[in-house]
Structure 1
Amino acid sequence: MKVVVMAGGEGTRLRPLTITRPKPMTHIVGKPIMEHIINLLSEQGFKEFIATLYYLPEIIQEYFNDGSNWNIKLDYSIEESPLGTAGSVKYALKDKEKGRILIVSGDALTDFNFQEIIRFHEEKKALITIVLTSVENPLEYGVVITDDEGRIVKFLEKPSWGEVFSDTVNTGIYILEPEVLDYIPENEPFDFSKDLFPMLLEKGAPLYGYIANGYWCDIGNLEQFLKANIDILTGKVKIKIPGREILPGIFVNEDVDISHSAFIKPPVYIGQFSKIKENATILGPTVLGDSVFVDSEAKIQRSVIFNNTYIGKKTNIYSSIIGSKCNIKNSVKIEEGASIGDNNTIGDRVFINTGVKIWPNKYIETGSIVNTSIVWGSHWRKTLFGQRGITGKINIEITPEFATKIGASFGTILPKSSYVVMSRDARPACRMIKRAILTGILSTGVNVFDIRTLPIPVSRYATPNLDTVAGVHIRISPYDPEKILIEFFDRSGINIDKNTERKIENTFFREDFRRTYTEEVGEIKFPPHVIEYYTWGLLKSIDKSSIEKKRYKVVIDYQGNSASLFLPNILSQLKIENISLNIYGEDTHKIKVPNEEVIKITKAVGADFGLIINNDGESFSIITPGGKYLAKDELIAVLTYLTLKLYPNSQIVIPVNISQSIEKIANNLGGRIIRSKISPSELTKTLLRTESKFGASEDGLIFPDFQPVFDGIYGLLKFLEIYSKNNLTLKELVEELPEYFKVKATVDCYAENKGKIMRKLIEENAEKNIEYIDGIKVYIDDSWVLIIPHPEEPALIIYAESTTLKKAQELLEEFSQKIKDLNIALT
């Protein structure tokens, strides 16, 4: 059996450590990660190895040579351009004798028993065996579900929380039968998880998942790198630590010099030729590489220090990573989470704050206070994007400094000299953050069309019509008025996809911003007639005459929305008498929905409707002439009824959390309901793919005949158009709706338990009908319960619906309690 070691990765999330070395050559307790895996496999009887290389290949080749020092035969395959995981294996084995293949990562730490994995593979007569393990946070891995026999039934690469069905993930360790190579195209990018496995699963090939016992850690970032070192020292990994154990938990290599007055608290590893001077303190778990000099009265705690580094007198290092050939001078203080690359000089009395990263070959002057990274920057949080853009508390989580870096990250992934549309809502906080983001974008050489304060649908419409490459809108979050929301659009005005989000995140966390010269800095322009173009397009897309004939009277609450700058004029053109409340510029931050004032005035003046423009113009709400506020599901149901009356056999898209009353209406009128995931981007994708009449969710309505995004202004006019062609009154329409009751709750849980709880709920309800479109939806007689992991918080969201309010509340309480119990049991 040949072992293919995947060792071509750049390890961008491990920067600054991987700027000067490939990720597999990053040292863990005295040895490169790749050496640990080769040692393990060699001891278990594997002798023929091929390493696939791409980034800095010569460093790996010079270190391992032909592999004879490890009692193996090691060949190399160097790709000229990235071929993907499967493509690189095909390329590496193209001239080799065919046989069974074991594929392992050269940058993951494990102590699995590979002979047991092979026995499982042979017993199952598998074409491919994927080695699985359980992790706390499945978002960065491929989630895999197997049946009782171990056969794979479902997997998903790097899911969102709504797609997490289990905490069992793909480790990137595979056993392949030789015929698998025939399915991989030559000399073109092809991936195991994204391309090969889904194709073979669809063909019904015998793909099995082996849930391995033992330790596995994908060393994907600096926190995991530090954790892996600590796990070896604390005995969590069955790997032999180099050197000898001179005292319990204190491991030293040859020719180590330790002063009698030094204090060392295990577990600690000290590499060869290292020296620890008098009164120095080393508190474990800590790793010191080869030829590390720790001067007198220095203190190092819970850290990793690479080879050939000097730590000066009275220097204090806590929970940090220091690269090789660094000169850390006297009385330096390095706080938790700092990462310092190779060949850096840190002057006397320097303070390096928490989370700071310093790229290689820098000089920090004496007495400096370093609060941000030198060139690159601090690691603020693991992920930036939630379900909709980037959100956080103003001046706490989203500060002007943070916003500027976000702008620079976004601008970096865009073409230089291109244009971006920017807009905001009326709040002063949004103005501040918009200007900070704008500054960051300009710094990368990208220009900005500033359309100032306008509703988000207008900004979306302007993005393609101004021939820009992207758009940004800043507003108060519709989900939490204490937070600000930053949304990014592509050139079509649709929210950017996950791949683009990850590009922005990678740039942000690496702080790898594009900087431009003076004459290349972007410029700001203020395009004219943005509202006029939007209004023209809007009126062109509706049947104006149908609305005009009705001579509607409406009371409309703008909630301080800038739609009040132009919507009254549009309504007047449609011969709609409109009474405006809470217009742009008024203090409306304490107004609740539904607003009692709107209800009272609607009834008092005998209006046909009371209307509320919500969520910065993305959605609208309706109040009947009698004063009844229609919930979102009721509004969707009314619009579904009206649409299918006018356009029989139409398709309508709604997400999984919308009432099943919509299906009842569609069944009676001959229409078809298509369910999608909850996120707006997924709703839009489904809507465009199925060519449906409209899409609707709790966030608003999407009519693709105008623009395929939430647009409450167009949605309102489209509703009036469709309603005007129907003979029933709004009161009669509401009475026609099937009666269902839906309730919702959010249940807190530990973040690491989210995937585990989802898996347990599937197991406990296996005999029931379960739907996996988004989260898990359990059908119970004429009721259902939807459980979906919160996309941003350590919590699960539960929806329950039934034909009675009592039953819906009972189901909600039952599943809420189950989640609370599981959270305790799994902790």
Structure 2
Amino acid sequence: MRRSPLPYYNNKIYGVANSQFTPENAAELGAVLGTLVGEGALVTAARDYYPPSRMLKRAFTAGLMSTGASVIDFHSATLPEVSFAVKRFGAKAGVHFSVTPFGDNGIQLRVLDAAGVEISSERLEDILSMLESHHAVRAIPTRIGWVTYAEYIHDVYVSSASGFVDSSPISAKEPLVLVDMNFGPANEVLPNLLSAIGAKFIAVNSSRPPHNVIPRQLPSLRSLRTLGELCRATGATFAVALSSDASHAYFVDDKGRFIDPDRFLALLALMLPQGSRLAITDSASHIVDSIAEKNKLTLIRVKGIAGDIARGVRRLRVNLGATDSGEVVFPQFSLAPDGVLLTAKLLEMLSTEEIRLSTAVDAIPEPPYYTLELDAEASVGLKVLDALFLEQTEVAVAPGAIKYRVGDTWVKVSLDADKSKIYVGAETVSRSSTEIVKREFDRIRELAESLG
């Protein structure tokens, strides 16, 4: 993570609420964005259920208004809804506040451009440079912007998303799906979408976060383990756990097994029609390449994150964009990663092909991997992941795991809380990969000892 007036990582602004990311600098940041989009421009805004997100969004909205920009405020809504609404309402930008995937009490801000795509790192650096120099142009009092509240975005989104899914094979089978909302606003859209396409569901963690829980963006390993147990007990088609902003989705198959995001990417490549074009991040497993070649897909690797894939969608002309962090972009619908729509589209694929998810997963070979293991309590393992996240500038994250680049090798560090293990590994795609893993293992062992 790079340091600036506010820290940022993977094109997202980050800060601990009320220490790094305060109402004061949130308001000034809003004024900077308002200055960039111009007086009279429209900006869409939403947040997750965590109270600090609400506080900072309101301060940011005040800053936007001070420049003469007007805001359509969706209160609590998912990132996919904000992206969808940017184009729907002709907005110049969109913003979404949510908890971070690392650390406690951290809030992240995602800024979307007029196409609904997360802004580039260069654009983000421009915004932070303007914040540092206090460059904001305020409107005269008579031209201060307005705020319009539009909670109907949930209905508009569900209506459009259900039309993007072929529901006939789904409604014919009435599959049961388990959905973990991770205490996020997906509970206002995903149940309605599943009902609209003819699926049955059981929802968990579909409330606002309890007072004794400090939420994180990604679902916990414990939640995924619980979903696996429920899958086996209920005979569900699959289970899905969403991130708090619904941009990421993580799946458990009908046998109760968590599907690693790399294997899920390979699964998508296996199930896409021949001749499709698939764009993935360069950190993804090379097993996706072999599946894509076998299935006669055009596979394009893109350096960066989901936003980098989305920005090149028109040029790349892809059918699907995906990352190994659990994000999938459907460019014909929207240019933001959308875990809600992905859940419905996976149901469509499985129902159309009349195949069990576990059968498809079992058809994917294991990639060659070199792994070392370290004994560590789960609490120490989480601290290690947080520390690694904070020191890196280019990462891919998943529940209980992080990937980061060392030279030409992507090192993966993951936890097994039940066995009190930390695993350090990499695909053995070059002779130097094993040596890099050994060096990183030694470094992480020292880090774990210092944090224990």
User: The TM-score by the shorter chain falls in which range?
Assistant: 0.7 to 0.9
CA contact 2:185–2:244 (8 Å) conserved in 1: no
Report Cα offsets for 1:552-580 as digits up to 9, x if no partner.
Answer: 01121111111112321221222211111
Q: Are 2:283 and 2:410, in contact at CA under 8 Å, matched by a contact in 1?
A: yes
Give yes or no for contact 1:649–1:672 (8 Å, CA) kept in 2: yes
| Corresponding residue of 1:642 | 271
Residue 177 of structure 2 aligns to a residue whose secondary structure is strand
For 1:750 and 1:390, the matched residues in 2 are separated by 13
Are the equivalent residues in 1 in contact too, given 2:117–2:311 (CA < 8 A)?
Answer: no
Following superposition, the deviation at residue 718 of structure 1 comes to 1.3
For 1:581 and 1:622, the matched residues in 2 are separated by 14
What does 1:585-600 correspond to in 2, within 5 Å?
Answer: 585-587=208-210, 589=214, 592-595=220-223, 596-600=225-229
TM-score, normalised relative to structure 2: 0.81
- Decide which of 65, 75, 81 is 1:458's aligned counterpart: 81
Alignment of 1:514-525 (within 5 A): 514-525=137-148
What are the equivalent positions in structure 2 for 1:479-628 lying under 5 Å apart?
479-527=102-150, 529-587=152-210, 589=214, 592-595=220-223, 596-628=225-257
- Cα–Cα, structure 1 residues 742 and 718, in superposed 2: closer, same or farther, change >3 Å? farther
Partner residue of 1:707 out of 327, 334, 339: 334
Matches of 2:214 and 2:203 in 1, distance apart?
Answer: 17
Distance 1:507 1:709 in 2: 26
Cα deviation for residue 743 of structure 1 reads 6.4
- After TM superposition, the structure 1 stretch with the greater mean CA deviation from structure 2, 683-692 or 701-710, is 683-692
SS where residue 193 of structure 2 aligns? helix
Name the amino acid aligned to 1:786: W
Which of 282, 294, 297 is residue 656 of structure 1 equivalent to? 282
Counterpart code for 1:580: A
Give yes or no for contact 1:449–1:527 (8 Å, CA) kept in 2. Answer: yes
Alignment of 1:371-450 (within 5 A): 381=4, 385-450=8-73
Where is the helix percentage greater, Structure 1 or Structure 2?
A: 2
- Does 1:722 find its partner at 2:349? yes
1:345 corresponding residue in structure 2: none
Where do 5+ consecutive residues of structure 2 fail to align? Answer: 373-383, 394-403, 413-423, 446-452
Instruction: Tell me which residue corresponds to 2:376.
Output: none
Contact map agreement 2:254 2:356 (CA 8 A) in 1: no
SS of the counterpart of 2:250? strand
Structure 1 residue 457: deviation in Å?
Answer: 0.7
CA distance in 1, matches of 2:309, 2:425: 18
Please say if 1:814 is aligned against 2:442: no
- Confirm whether residue 786 of structure 1 aligns to residue 410 of structure 2: yes
Identify the residue that residue 732 of structure 1 maps to in structure 2.
Answer: 359
Alignment partner, residue 300 of structure 2? 674
Residue identity opposite 2:356 in structure 1: T
- CA gap of 1:819–1:397, structure 2 versus 1, over 3 A, is same
1:32-51 matches, within 5 Å, as none
Using the alignment, how far apart are the partners of 1:400 and 1:749 within structure 2? 25
Deviation at 1:670, TM superposition (A): 1.7
**Per-residue deviation, residues 720-755 of structure 1 (Å, max 9, x unmatched):** 11222224322221211111247699797999x99x
**Residue number among 89, 101, 118 corresponding to 1:478 in the alignment:** 101
Q: Is the 8 A contact 2:16 2:105 kept in 1?
A: yes
Name the CA distance, whole Å, in 2 between partners of 1:659 and 1:497. 24
What SS is found at the alignment partner of 2:245? helix
Alpha-carbon distance between aligned partners in 1 of 2:359 and 2:389, rounded to the nearest angstrom: 44
Given that residues 565 and 584 in structure 1 are in contact (C-alpha distance below 8 angstroms), is that contact kept between their aligned partners in structure 2?
no
Q: Render the CA deviation track for 1:179-224: whole Å, top value 9, x for unaligned.
A: xxxxxxxxxxxxxxxxxxxxxxxxxxxxxxxxxxxxxxxxxxxxxx
Give CA deviations for 1:304-346 in whole Å, capped at 9, x if unaligned.
xxxxxxxxxxxxxxxxxxxxxxxxxxxxxxxxxxxxxxxxxxx
Amino acid at match of 1:662: V
Contact 2:269 2:295 in 1 (8 A): no
How far did residue 699 of structure 1 move?
4.2
User: For residue 377 of structure 2, what is the aligned residue in structure 1?
Assistant: none
Q: How many residues align?
A: 403
Partner of 2:310: 684
Q: Say which one has the larger Rg.
A: 1
1:335-354 superposed matches below 5 A: none
Distance 1:536 1:478, change over 3 A: same
**Structure showing greater relative contact order (alpha-carbon pairs closer than 8 Å, 6 or more residues apart):** 2
Deviation for aligned residue 1:505:
2.2
1:69-121: CA deviations, max 9, x gaps?
Answer: xxxxxxxxxxxxxxxxxxxxxxxxxxxxxxxxxxxxxxxxxxxxxxxxxxxxx
The 5 Å alignment of 1:40-79 reads none
Q: Is the 8 A contact 1:424 1:475 kept in 2?
A: yes
Task: Indicate the residue corresponding to 2:418 in structure 1.
Answer: none
Residue pair 2:165, 2:197 contacting (<8 A) in 1 also? no
* Structure 1 residue 818 displacement after superposition: 9.2
| Residues 425 and 474, structure 1, Cα contact 8 Å, conserved in 2 | yes
TM-score, L = length of structure 1: 0.45
2:261 to 632, 638, 641: 632
Shift of 1:478: 2.7
Residue 37 of structure 2 aligns to a residue whose secondary structure is: coil
Shift of 1:529: 2.3
Aligned partner (choices 674, 680, 693) of residue 319 of structure 2: 693
Distance 1:634 1:580 in 2: 25
Deviation at 1:617, TM superposition (A): 0.6
Change (3 A) 1:748 1:551: closer
Shift of 1:688: 3.3
Question: CA separation in 2, counterparts of 1:473 and 1:384?
Answer: 17
Q: Could you tell me which amino acid in structure 1 is paired with residue 33 of structure 2? A: F
Cα shift at 1:487: 1.0
- Distance in structure 2 (CA, Å) of the matches to 1:802 and 1:526: 52
How far residue 810 of structure 1 moved from its aligned partner, in angstroms, is 6.2
Identity score, percent: 23
Contact 1:657–1:799 (8 Å) recurs in 2: no
